[in-house]
Structures are given as C-alpha cells and as structure tokens.
C-alpha cells in the first residue's frame, strides 16, 4: 500500500496551535457560501444554515471544514473581494465561536480575503490557484504561519477549461508543485499540502491519469489532498448527475486512499469517514 512507501511524508500539521496527526487519513467537509456552486447540496446561504451543516459534518467525523465564498465552477461569475468577505466572515466568526474544535479552512485565491479570515478565526488556506492569481498570497501564508493547500490549476475558473493541454500531465503537475513549494519554503512557509486539482484545467482522462499516479507525488514528502467529490470526472464517466455521484465518489476516494491520500475533501462526510475506517482496517 502507498502508506508503506519508502518516501517519508510530513505527518503533522500545526493549525492554530493544534497539532494534527495525519498518519491516519482525515476528512474535510465542504461548505459553500455561494448561490452557484456546482453541487447544490453543499450551498448554504445563511449563518444558521452553515452552522447546521458544520455540526452535522463534525458529528460525522470531519476534522476540517472548508469554507468557500467564491464559486470556482467553470464559467462562474466573478465577485468582488468585498462580496466574498461579506459572505465569509460572519460564518467564520460563528463557527470559531460555536465549534472551537473544528479546523476552519478558507477556500480562496485572494490574499486579502485569506488574511482577514485567519485573523477572524480561520486556521488554514486552500488556494485553488497555488498563488498564481494573487502575488501576495505566498507572503501572507508565510507571515501568518498557517497550513496552506497548494492546488494545481492553469488560468482561472472562467478560462481553465480552455487550458487543458499537456504533453505529460503528471510531469507538469509534479514540476509545478516542486517549484511552488520551493518558493514557499524560501519565504518561510510551513505545513504545505498538495492537491493535484482534479478537474481544474484537466480533461477527464487527464484527471484519471493523475489519480493513476497519485502515489508518485509522495516523492515530494508532502501531505496529499484528494478533492474528487461529485465531480464531472465521476458523473460524466458514469452518465449521471452530480446529485447521483455519491457512490462513484466513495469508490474514487477509496482508490485515492490506497494511493496515499492524507485528506479527502468531500461533500458527504459520513461516507468518506466510513471509507477511511475500512481502508485502515485493511492495513
């Protein structure tokens, strides 16, 4: 199994003074504070709705809650920093007060939004652009000393589908991680997690090619996040909709675990936690 690989990955994260052990895979629940995220079941339009979903996810075994106030689905509308912040901060404040045990991750590519959210009570940053859409992001992450999810994407949410051209998708994504991680380390950042960005500027076959070689990212000795939940790489292959893609998501999450994924980012926490338990029973 991938967990027994020669490469010794970093197995802990310091998030808000809490030392998290990643020797057992963890689950991250998705809470979208947007009206147009691709999976309707993850959308929450009020603080109370977000609190209810957070409580459900934490009860089911989530370690992280990933809060996004800017839709990154292909073709999504652009919104201002102010609108993103206005959607996000009341929920961060409420969750930090109501669920102090939760690790709050902020899904944003904007440094100002990231910094404000961390100062409001969030613990880590999940950047779909890997610092490419805001030159200040790496410096902010290093200064705040928060865990940082470094995802691979080309272009932006409105243009990425036109940029899915690769000679060797694994080699390009691997080199991207090596280069961006070096830049982060030079600035003094700690606790970097890598996310191959399944479906972001990648056709279905390219996403599956990355999953096929997911274990080879272990050479970077960094924790790996797999975010495949209800994506088109699943429902498009099966001829379904996102709403019908839970079974396929569980299957692909299980494959990701066998290939070394340390964090599963999901809309359905209970099923992902069960997959982790079964995977670990087999080790």
DSSP for 105-155 reads EEE-S-HHHHHHHHHHT--EEEETTTTSS-TTHHHHHHHHT--EEEE--SS
Instruction: Give yes or no: 231 in active site.
Output: yes
pLDDT digits (tens, 9 = 90+) for 174-216: 999 999 999 999 999 999 999 999 999 999 999 999 999 999 9
**Whether 71 contacts 33, CB under 8 Å:** no
* pTM flag (> 0.85): yes
Element of type H or E holding 97 = helix 81-98
The active-site residue, picked from 231, 259, 270, 277, is 231
User: Please, what is the Cα angle at 179 between 155 and 8, to 5 degrees?
Assistant: 120
Helix/strand/coil (H/E/C) assignment for every residue in 158-197? CCHHHCCCCCCHHHHHHHHHHHHHHHHHHHCCCCEEEECC
Phi/psi at 220 (nearest 5 deg)?
Answer: -75, -10
User: Residue 276 pLDDT > 50, yes or no?
Assistant: yes
User: Residue 114 pLDDT > 80, yes or no?
Assistant: yes
pLDDT of residue 72: 73
- The DSSP output letter for 102 is S
**Whether 248 contacts 270, CB under 8 Å:** no
Q: Average pLDDT in the 105-110 region?
A: 96
**Whether 257 contacts 275, CB under 8 Å:** yes
pLDDT digits (tens, 9 = 90+) for 36-83: 554 455 445 688 989 999 999 999 999 999 999 987 766 667 789 999
Residue among 64, 52, 78, 76 nearest 26 (CA): 64
Instruction: Give yes or no: 265 in active site.
Output: yes
DSSP-derived pairing of the beta strands 12-15 and 18-21: antiparallel
Joined together, the tokens standing for residue 204 give 């279905």
**Spatial distance between the Cα atoms of 146 and 137, rounded to a whole number of angstroms:** 12
pLDDT of residue 2: 47
pLDDT of residue 40: 53
Domains of the chain, first to last = 23-281 (3.20.20.20)
């Amino acid at each position: 199994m991938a967990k027994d690989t020669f490469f010794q990955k970093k197995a802990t994260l310091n998030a808000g003074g809490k030392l998290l052990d990643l020797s057992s895979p963890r689950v991250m629940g998705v809470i979208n504070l947007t009206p147009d995220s691709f999976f309707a079941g993850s959308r929450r339009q009020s603080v109370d709705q977000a609190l209810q979903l957070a409580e459900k996810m934490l009860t089911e075994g989530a370690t992280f809650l990933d809060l996004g106030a800017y839709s990154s689905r292909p073709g999504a509308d652009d919104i201002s920093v102010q609108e993103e912040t206005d959607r996000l901060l009341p929920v961060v404040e409420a969750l930090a007060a109501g669920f102090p045990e939760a690790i709050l991750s902020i899904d944003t590519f904007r440094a100002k939004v990231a910094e404000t959210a961390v100062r409001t009570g969030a613990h880590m940053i999940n950047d779909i652009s890997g610092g490419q859409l805001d030159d200040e992001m790496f410096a902010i992450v290093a200064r705040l000393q928060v865990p940082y999810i470094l995802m691979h994407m080309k272009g932006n949410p409105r243009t990425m589908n036109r940029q899915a051209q690769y000679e060797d998708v694994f080699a390009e994504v691997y080199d991207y991680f090596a280069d961006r991680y070096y830049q982060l380390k030079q600035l003094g950042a700690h606790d970097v997690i890598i996310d191959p960005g399944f479906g972001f500027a990648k056709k279905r076959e390219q996403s599956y090619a990355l999953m096929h070689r997911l274990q080879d990212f272990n050479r970077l000795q960094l924790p790996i996040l797999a975010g495949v939940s209800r994506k088109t790489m699943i429902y498009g292959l099966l001829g379904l909709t996102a709403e019908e893609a839970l079974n396929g998501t569980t299957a692909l999450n299980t494959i990701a675990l066998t290939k070394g994924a340390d964090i599963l980012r999901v809309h359905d926490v209970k099923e992902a936690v069960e997959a982790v338990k079964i995977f670990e029973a087999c080790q």
